[in-house]
DNA sequence: TTTATGGCTGTCA
DNA sequence: ATGACAGCCATAA
């Protein structure tokens, strides 16, 4: 039954946004992690696209999304990465001296991604 | 419709 | 630890 490809051809974004919205405050998740939770494993890049397409007054905590290394990827818009870092620090997520968040500590651990320690 | 790209990931050296 | 290569999937032309 109509798993995906049923509602709209681009419900992908909606799923991605939904997952990001599930990220609790003070937590950070990686693109791949979100893509997987969104039902599109391997499409980590698309997550980045979705974030790029986010509206200005979005309620999606896009700043909680970082790459697998825990660092902030360089985006097309220089300076935005600093904004992301600022927002994360405002939520209690601090970066190390290398400019990386400790995913082992702040990493979001959703129930769907369990199975391994 | 097809082609190319891209805010990434994971493995190998 | 860092650098390079190839793969994935959806969007835009």
Question: What confidence tens digit (pLDDT) does each residue in A13-52 have?
Answer: 888 988 999 999 999 999 989 998 888 888 898 898 888 8
Which positions on chain B have an atom < 7 Å from some protein CB? 6-10
Residues whose C-beta lies under 7 Å from strand B = A 30-32, 44-49, 51-52, 54, 62, 65, 67-69, 73-77, 80, 84
Average of pLDDT values for A96-110?
87
**Å between A34 CA and B5 C1'?**
21
Is A67 within 7 A of strand C by CB distance? no
pTM: 0.85
Q: What are the tokens at A38?
A: 């969104």
Radius of gyration of chain A (CA): 14
CA distance A67 to A85: 13
3-state secondary structure (DSSP) of residue A82: helix
């Amino acid at each position: 039954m109509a798993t995906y490809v049923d509602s709209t051809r681009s419900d992908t974004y909606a799923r991605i946004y939904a997952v990001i919205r599930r990220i609790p405050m003070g937590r950070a998740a990686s693109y791949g992690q979100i893509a997987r939770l969104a039902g599109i494993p391997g499409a980590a890049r698309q997550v980045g696209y979705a974030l790029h397409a986010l509206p200005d007054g979005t309620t999606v905590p896009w700043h909680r999304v970082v790459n697998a290394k825990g660092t902030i990827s360089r985006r097309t818009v220089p300076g935005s990465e600093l904004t992301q870092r600022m927002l994360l620090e405002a939520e209690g997520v601090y970066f190390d001296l290398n400019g990386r968040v400790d995913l082992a500590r702040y990493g979001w651990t959703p129930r769907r991604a369990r199975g391994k320690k």
